[in-house]
Structure 1
Amino acid sequence: MIAAAIRAMSQVFQPAFRAILWKSLGFTLAALFLIWIALNGLVAGFVDLPYPWLDTALSILTGVGAFIGLGFLIAPVTAMFAAFFQDDVALIVEREDYPADGPGRAMPLPESIWLTVKFTGIVILANIFALMLLLVPGINLVAFFLVNGYLLGREFFEFAAMRFMPQADAKSLRKAHGGTVFLAGLVIAGVLAVPILNLVTPIFATILMVHLYKRLARRQAAARAY
């Protein structure tokens, strides 16, 4: 697990992934900026205060609150854009690190979009729940890691596995190694929790889970051989 995580992080910034990285950063930052502008505009449009200094104070508080809230939106936003880059990232890893195995099968675009929309909705609801616990010291941080560790681990691992097997088999493989996949998800959540670094989460998570899938698939094949 540690070796796979180190390998994944070292690959994120390699030339082969650089164009994908810039595209991912551009889309993610643009989406977060538009959400921030919309939140500020919404408050300013519905609240009319009698004194200018109150308007200024409210604007500052809204901006700070929106900035904190965006920290919880990074997970669903990165998940939403993952579908556009995952196959490209996975293909590079498969060709460079596992050339003898052959590349996986890209997920059909309609299926990819549907799974991404569904997963993004789940992540949004889960992070709203975690955000509600913000006022409870300690619990909100634990909730953030547990929720995102499980959901991100499940999503990215099943994606890597589904390039080589049907969805039902991918889920079975994940459940058979649930603890390992969850630990990998916690590593992804750890990257997600670090400002600036969290913007590379989709690429890092995809690379990590391709490595993890390959190791678990080979272990499973070896066990069957015996």
Structure 2
Amino acid sequence: MLSAASRAFGQIFEPPFRAILWKSLGFTLAVLLVIWIALQGLVAGFVELPYPWLETTLSILTGIGAIIGLGFLVAPVSALFAAFFQDDIAEIVERRDYPADPPGRAMPLGQSLLLTIKFTGVVVLGNLVALILLLVPGINVAAFFLVNGYLLGREFFEFAAMRFMSPAEARALRRARGGTVFLGGLVIAGVLAVPILNLVTPIFATIFMVHLYKGLATARA
């Protein structure tokens, strides 16, 4: 697993993935910026204070709070990103690193969007729970890793597997190798937890899980 993670990290900045990386960064930053502006606008529009210095203080505190909160939205935004570029990333990895294997097949766009919307909702809910648990000393960091480790591991592994098998078979394989997939999800969550570096999470996670799936498929065969 560590070998697959190291391999994935080394490939993120290689030429075939560079254009996708810029698209990923632009998409993620644009979505987070829109959310941040909307939150600032809500506060400015609905909260009136008698003194200008109070308004300035509130604006600063709101901005800091919004930035912290947006850190928890990187995972849902990564899930949205998956619908648009995941197949392109997986296809490059399969073609370059596993040329002797049968190529995977892209998921139909409608099915991909439906699954992504469903998963994004689950990730949002899970990260809201983790955000609330930040107020509980001792379990806040653990909650972040457990929630994202499970959800992101499940999402990205099943995607890699569904390029070669049916959704039901992919879920069955994920359950059968649940410990390995969860540990892989924790690796992804570790990348997600590092500011700035977390912006490459979707590309890293996709490459990593393709390698992990290929390793498990070889062992299974």
Same fold? TM cut 0.5:
yes
Question: Residue 100 of structure 2: SS of its match in structure 1?
Answer: helix
Q: CA deviation at 1:137?
A: 1.8
Identity of aligned residues (%): 77
Q: Which amino acid aligns with 2:8?
A: A
Give the paired residue count: 221
- Scaled by the length of structure 1, the TM-score of the pair is 0.97
Q: CA deviation at 1:133?
A: 1.0
Spell out, residue by residue over 1:120-171, the C-alpha distance to the aligned partner (whole angstroms, 9 max, x if none): 0000000000111111123111100000000000000000000000000001
Q: CA deviation at 1:173?
A: 0.6
Spell out, residue by residue over 1:18-67, the C-alpha distance to the aligned partner (whole angstroms, 9 max, x if none): 00000010010000011000001101111000000000000001000000
Contact 1:188 1:201 in 2 (8 A): yes
Give me the whole-angstrom Cα distance separating, in 1, the residues matched to 2:25 and 2:184: 22
Q: CA deviation at 1:184?
A: 0.3
1:37 aligned residue: 37
1:171 aligned residue: 171
Give me the whole-angstrom Cα distance separating, in 2, the residues matched to 1:142 and 1:44: 34
1:106 aligned residue: 106
2:118 aligned residue: 118
Q: CA deviation at 1:86?
A: 0.3
1:94 aligned residue: 94
1:11-50 aligned within 5 A: 11-50=11-50
* 2:212 is equivalent to residue 205 of structure 1: no
Q: How big is the alpha-carbon RMSD for the aligned residues of Structure 1 and Structure 2? A: 0.6
Give me the whole-angstrom Cα distance separating, in 2, the residues matched to 1:219 and 1:134: 39
Contact 1:191 1:201 in 2 (8 A): yes
1:224 aligned residue: none
Contact 1:95 1:102 in 2 (8 A): no
Q: Which amino acid aligns with 1:194?
A: V
Question: Residue 194 of structure 1: SS of its match in structure 2?
Answer: coil
Give me the whole-angstrom Cα distance separating, in 1, the residues matched to 2:204 and 2:13: 10
Q: CA deviation at 1:117?
A: 0.2
Q: Which runs of 4+ in 1 moved over 6 A?
A: none
Question: Residue 130 of structure 2: SS of its match in structure 1?
Answer: helix
Question: Residue 73 of structure 2: SS of its match in structure 1?
Answer: helix
Q: Which amino acid aligns with 1:207?
A: I
Structure 1 segments unaligned to the other structure (5+ residues): 222-226
Structure 2 segments unaligned to the other structure (5+ residues): none
1:54-203 aligned within 5 A: 54-203=54-203
Give me the whole-angstrom Cα distance separating, in 2, the residues matched to 1:17 and 1:190: 21
Give me the whole-angstrom Cα distance separating, in 1, the residues matched to 2:143 and 2:82: 23
